[in-house]
Amino acid sequence: MADFLQVVTTVDSEDAAEGLARGITGARLAACVQIVGPIKSVYWWQGELDEAREWQLIIKTTTGRIAELEDYIKENHSYETPDITPTVISRGSHEYPDWITPETSIDASS
C-alpha cells in the first residue's frame, strides 16, 4: 500500500476549504477530500507565536499524483507557505487501493 497517501493541508475559511476540495477532486488529483473544522492552530510564523481558526483538508491520493497535487495546492492556496504534509497509508481494506486511485475510482452514482 506504499503507493497511497493521505495528505493534510489547512486553510483559513470554510469557503476556501470547499473550493480547494472541489478543485482537487474535480481535477482527479484525489479520490476524496475530507474537511474538518473549524480547528484552532497555534504556530510560529515570522518569529512570533500566533494562532488562527482554520479548516483542515484530509486528501486521499496516490504517490503518482503527489507532485501535481502539491503544485495545485500551491497555485490555489492563499497562504504564503501552505502545509502540504503527505503520510503513507500503510494499511486499508482490500478494495481501498482501487477506490483511492483517481484514474480507476468507481463512480458512486453507478
Average pLDDT (40-60) is: 96
Q: How far apart are CA 66 and CA 86, in angstroms?
A: 8
Q: How far apart are CA 105 and CA 27, in angstroms?
A: 13
Range of the domain at 68: 4-100
Q: Could you tell me if 82 and 73 are in contact, meaning their C-beta atoms sit under 8 angstroms apart?
A: yes
Residue 65 has pLDDT above 90, yes or no: yes
- How many domains would you assign to the chain? 1
Would you place residue 110 in the very low, low, confident or very high pLDDT band (cuts 50, 70, 90)? very low
pLDDT of residue 109: 41
Tens digits of per-residue pLDDT, 86-109? 999 887 777 777 777 755 443 444
Q: Is residue 67 part of a domain?
A: yes
Q: How many CB atoms lie within 10 A of CB 10?
A: 22
**Residue 108 domain-assigned (yes or no):** no
